Amino acid sequence: MSLTVVYGTDTGHVLGALALAGPAGPPPAVADLVGKELPLRVATLGGRPFELGVPAARLGAVAADDEPDALAAPLDFGVELGADGTPKPALRRLADGVTVSVAAGGVTVALPDDVSAVTRVLVLVAGESGTRLESGDIGTGNREVTVRMTLGAGAYGVLALVEGWAGRLGPATVS
């Protein structure tokens, strides 16, 4: 059995993992694994599930070293790139502590401490009108960023990915 992971190229987060039968080898193409997008589901606080579609163009795939926890909790792991830009097979366990707040004016993503370098953030929000994908950066010496988007009252599913930190996928409500 060999482990293949699909990861977000913006932040390196593992978004899905699968164990393939047979000898290890190069991973299948992303489009062969997910089609045009990788669907992630989240049940809202009202119980209605939303699907967040991560576009295949923002994904990569790599044959990874055996890491059974990646199958159960893929957002807890990240893929690092080598000096030549190719993904390394060893997955990295990501730090925990990201908090997410959703309001009519956007999504605020916060860390427990200030960052020492600019840190990339990717936010996907799914609601009645589909999925929105926006990015931002937490600046050096700061601990949060608000990714601006206009959200009406209602239930949403939210995926927040902060480079180097475990991803957060969950429900949110805007009053």
Number of domains composing the chain: 2
Tell me: do 8 and 87 sit in the same domain: yes
CATH at residue 104: 2.60.40
Same domain? For 47 and 85 the reply is yes
37 shares a domain with 89: yes
Query: In the listed set 62, 93, 124, which residue is the last one of a domain according to the structure?
Result: 93
Residues 89 and 13 in one domain: yes
7 lies in the same domain as 89:
yes
Structure tokens at 53: 């579609």
74 and 112 belong to one structural domain: no
Looking at the structure, tell me whether residues 40 and 76 fall in a common domain: yes
Alpha carbons 155 and 7: distance in angstroms, whole number: 26
Residue pLDDT tens, the chain, 175 long: 588 999 999 999 999 999 877 666 677 889 999 999 999 999 877 777 899 999 999 999 999 998 989 999 999 999 999 999 899 999 999 999 999 999 999 999 999 999 999 999 999 999 888 899 999 999 999 999 999 999 999 999 999 999 999 999 999 999 9
* Domain, as residue range, for 122: 99-174
Q: Same structural domain for residues 85 and 106?
A: no
Q: What angle do CA 3, 6, 11 make, to 5 degrees?
A: 125
Whether 12 and 71 map to the same domain: the answer is yes
Domain final residue, candidates 75, 93, 111? 93
Domain boundary among 69, 93, 117: 93
Which residue's structure tokens are 């009519």? 104
- 66 Cα distance to chain centroid: 20
